[in-house]
Amino acid sequence: MYEQIARNKRRTFIILFAFVGLVMLVAVAFDILFGGGVAGLVVVLVISLGLAFFSYFNSDKIALAASHAKPASETEYRRYHNLVEGLCIAAGLPKPRLYVVDDPAPNAFATGRNPKHAALAVTTGLLNTMNRVELEGVIAHELSHVKNYDILVTTVAVVAVGAIALLADIGLRFAFWGGLRDSRRDSNDGGVGAILALLSLALLVLAPFAGYLMQFAMSRNREYLADASGVQLTRYPPGLISALEKLRDDQAVVHYATKATAQMWIEQPLEVPQDDNKKDARSRFNHLFDTHPPLEDRIKRLKEM
C-alpha cells in the first residue's frame, strides 16, 4: 500500500510535466498559425507554468465549484460529520472539509492536494439512500483516496483536461477566423509554411483527446485499492458491498458531473448505454476508456476478501 502511495505521488508530477508539455505543443501551434515568434513562445511558457502551479494549488476549489458542491452544515448534516470524524480518528487523518451536492443521484468524491488540504463531497441522494453502515463504507472508501494520495492525481487531471480543451478550442476558432489564411498567404517557402499550419491545426484538434488519454492513463486499480483500504478501515466489508450494490442498481446520473470530473466520483456519474437486458452494451474496446472498473468486479473482489 505504501508503494502505491509513492507511485501516486510520482504519477502526479509526471502528469504535471505532461500537462505543461502538451500546453507547450498547443503554444507552438498557436505560434505557427499566428506568427508570434520567440516572444510569443516565452509568453505561453510562462502561462503554461502558471497554469500548472494554479492547478496544483486550486484544483480542489475548481472541482468543487464545477460540481456545485456547498459546505455541509454541522447542524443539518450531523450524521455525515459524525461518521467522518470517527473514521478520520481511526485512519489517523485530519478531518477534511465537508460538502454536499444537491443531486438525487447517490454518489460521492474526495478532492484536494494532500490530507491536510482535502475535501469530501457527497450528494443528497447518497445521504438519503444509504443507511449508516453503507454510508460509512462509502466515506471510508473516499478517505482511503485521501490517505493514498489518489485525490491529488485526479483533481490535477480535471484542471489539465479542461485547460487543454479550452486552449485548443480558442486556437481552432482563431485559426478558422483568419489565422490559417494568414499563414498560407505569408508562406514563401515552397509550401512548408502551409504544411506546418495544417500540422498545427491537427495538433489543436488532437490535443483535447491527448488530455483525456492522460486522464484515462491513471490506473483504475486505485478504485480497487480504495475499496480494500475502506473495508480495512471499517472492518465491515458488507457495508461497502451493500453500498456498491445500491449504486449498481441505481440508474440516476449526477447532473453536474462532466467527462473531466467523472473519474473523481466513487462510481461512474455519467449515463452508460444499456441494452434490452440492462447489461453494458459497449464493446470491450470502449471499456478501455472507462474511468471506473465495473461495479460487479469491485463487489466480487470485496466478497472474496
Decide which of 162, 195, 216 is a domain's last residue: 216
**pLDDT in 10s for each residue of the chain, 305 residues:** 566 556 656 766 776 677 777 777 777 777 677 666 677 667 766 776 777 677 778 878 888 998 999 999 999 999 999 999 999 999 999 999 999 999 999 999 999 988 999 999 999 999 999 999 999 999 999 999 999 888 877 766 766 676 777 777 776 777 666 555 454 445 555 566 667 667 777 777 777 777 777 666 665 677 888 898 899 999 999 999 999 999 999 888 898 887 777 888 998 888 765 544 444 444 455 555 567 888 999 999 899 87
pTM value is: 0.76
Query: Can you give the chain as a three-state secondary structure string?
Result: CHHHHHHHHHHHHHHHHHHHHHHHHHHHHHHHHHCCHHHHHHHHHHHHHHHHHHHHHHHHHHHHHHCCEEECCCCCCHHHHHHHHHHHHHHCCCCCEEEEECCCCCCEEEEECCHHHEEEEEEHHHHHHCCHHHHHHHHHHHHHHHHCCHHHHHHHHHHHHHHHHHHHHHHHHHHHHHHHHHHHHHCCCCCHHHHHHHHHHHHHHHHHHHHHHHHHCCCCHHHHHHHHHHHHHHCCHHHHHHHHHHHHHCCCCCCCCCCCCHHHECCCCCCCCECCCCCECCCHHHHCCCCCCCHHHHHHHHHCC
Task: State whether 76 and 13 are in the same domain.
Answer: no
Task: Indicate which residue of 136, 142, 223, 267 is catalytic.
Answer: 142
Task: State whether 158 and 288 are in the same domain.
Answer: no
Decide which of 216, 234, 257 is a domain's last residue: 216
Domain of residue 249, residue span: 66-151+220-303
Q: Which amino acid is at 234?
A: T
Task: State whether 74 and 143 are in the same domain.
Answer: yes
Task: State whether 48 and 73 are in the same domain.
Answer: no
Task: State whether 226 and 273 are in the same domain.
Answer: yes
pLDDT value at position 64?
92
Task: State whether 162 and 288 are in the same domain.
Answer: no
Task: State whether 141 and 229 are in the same domain.
Answer: yes
Task: State whether 237 and 143 are in the same domain.
Answer: yes
Task: State whether 161 and 298 are in the same domain.
Answer: no
Please report, for the domain that includes residue 100, its CATH number: 3.30.2010.10
Domain total of the chain: 2
pLDDT value at position 276?
45
Task: State whether 99 and 209 are in the same domain.
Answer: no
Q: Which residues, 6 or more positions from 253, have their beta carbon under 8 angstroms from its beta carbon?
A: 105, 269, 270, 271
pLDDT value at position 210?
76
Task: State whether 110 and 227 are in the same domain.
Answer: yes
Task: State whether 82 and 209 are in the same domain.
Answer: no
Decide which of 192, 216, 240 is a domain's last residue: 216
Alpha-carbon dihedral 204, 209, 212, 218, rounded to 10 degrees: -110
pLDDT value at position 146?
93
Answer yes or no: 142 catalytic: yes
